[in-house]
Amino acid sequence: MPTEKNIKLSDDVFAQLKERAEAEGLSLDEAATEAVRIGLRESKWQRLIAAGRRYGRDSGYTEDDIESVIASFRNENRGR
């Protein structure tokens, strides 16, 4: 069972949330819950992308190296 919590939203965000809820036939609570879930998922993706970029940068490889690295990996793993 959901726990009731109160949060404060700026007027412009509340207006957008209300508009979305009405357009999608959702209650404000349902629309807010979905918006928060989407925001949290997006945040996780952005952290993953940032970590991938750091890893790529730290690897020392450049974009020009990509095709040869892939080809080398495929050759090493052929027949496994």
pLDDT of residue 37: 96
Under DSSP, the state recorded for 25 is T
Q: What is the pLDDT of residue 1?
A: 66
- All residue ranges of the chain with pLDDT < 50 are none
Residues whose CB falls within 8 Å of the CB of residue 41, separated by 6 or more in sequence, listed in order: none
Determine the pLDDT at residue 4: 83
pTM comes to 0.64
- What integer pLDDT is reported at residue 79 of this predicted model? 73
Residues making up the chain, counted from first to last: 80
Phi, psi of 36 (to 5 degrees): -65, -45
Model pLDDT, residue 2 = 75
> pLDDT at position 67, please?
93
